[in-house]
Amino acid sequence: MMCCAIEPMLNDTTSDLEPGAGPGKTRLLVIDDDRKLCRLIKDYLEPMGYAVTSVHTGPEGLEQASSGQFQVVVLDVMLPGLDGFEVLKQLRHVSAVPVLMLTARGEEADRIVGLEIGADDYLPKTFSPRELLARIRAVTRRTALTPASSASREEADLVVGVLRVNTGARVALLENQPLALTPVEFDLLASLARARGRVKSREQLLEEVRDRNYDVFDRSIDVHISTLRRKLGDDAKEPRFIRTVRSAGYMLINPDA
């Protein structure tokens, strides 16, 4: 596993802070107090086209992540000064940067809390470098904007009552007010909007928005749906937008119908 097999190769004498990213490199921020793990991530990812910056406390991580300089953040739960959950909660007030959370034991409770407050994905700390790379590529792939003309942006609009989802610009508007959605939440809403009036199963949604293998018992979609409902001002018991279809999945309904 990652934390043990390659650890002897790490060297603490090199500075962790690398402010400059080379041309074409994806700027990645690692917030973790395990300096050796940070060095390992840096050594593995930089040859893959990433410019990696590491910080080791919650407050410093929040400051760096909020700066707008990074395209993806890897965030540990256990941090000095401010834990990862609080860092993420405060970060989501100012930024929708993709966040991959690291959990020491991979416990379900930690994963659910992280997803509820805006994490895009999670990874137990017994991960392999290849899995980390795959997860990072998945969350950044979802945020890549595609060039679009005005006409194509119009064609990309998905309109359901007072809800408008523009897949080209990756913008969702509720009554002409922008919604602050994470990349996963946006993709989930777009998937439901494309299928408006039809049920999408959890398995279909997982395949479309997670870009990774999943456990058949993975309930992360339910957590994302709950968060998305809250941002839409929706009520699961009397849904205006997202209806739960028992034993089948979810469906986006027209609130004006």
The 3 state secondary structure assigned to 47-70 is HHCEEEEEECCHHHHHHHHCCCCC
Same domain, 136 and 201: no
- Residues 122, 30, single domain; the answer is yes
Specify if 204 maps to a domain: yes
Handedness of CA 227, 243, 122, 27 (dihedral sign): negative
Q: 3-state SS of 15-59?
A: CCCCCCCCCCCEEEEEECCCHHHHHHHHHHHHHHCEEEEEECCHH
Asked if residues 112 and 119 have their Cβ atoms less than 8 Å apart, the reply is: no
Say yes or no: 36 and 130 in one domain.
Answer: yes
125 in the same domain as 219: no
- pLDDT tens readout for residues 118-173: 888 888 888 899 999 999 998 888 666 434 433 334 446 888 889 999 887 788 99
Q: Same domain, yes or no, for 7 and 124?
A: yes
pTM equals 0.61
Of 74, 88, 190, nearest to 135 by C-alpha is 74
Torsion of CA 47, 52, 54, 58, to 10 degrees: -130
Domain count of the chain? 2
pLDDT digits (tens, 9 = 90+) for 83-108: 999 999 999 888 889 999 998 765 67
- At which of 114, 141, 168 does a domain end? 141
Query: At 34, which CATH number?
Result: 3.40.50.2300
Q: How far apart are CA 184 and CA 187, in angstroms?
A: 5
Task: Give the pLDDT score at 131.
Answer: 93
Task: State the CATH number of the domain containing residue 198.
Answer: 1.10.10.10
At 128, the amino acid letter reads: S
User: Domain check: are 223 and 248 in the same one?
Assistant: yes
Residue 257 lies in a domain: no
Residue (of 41, 44, 109, 34) closest to 73 by Cα position: 41
Range of the domain at 233: 150-252
Beta-strand (E) ranges in 95-142?
A: 99-103, 121-124
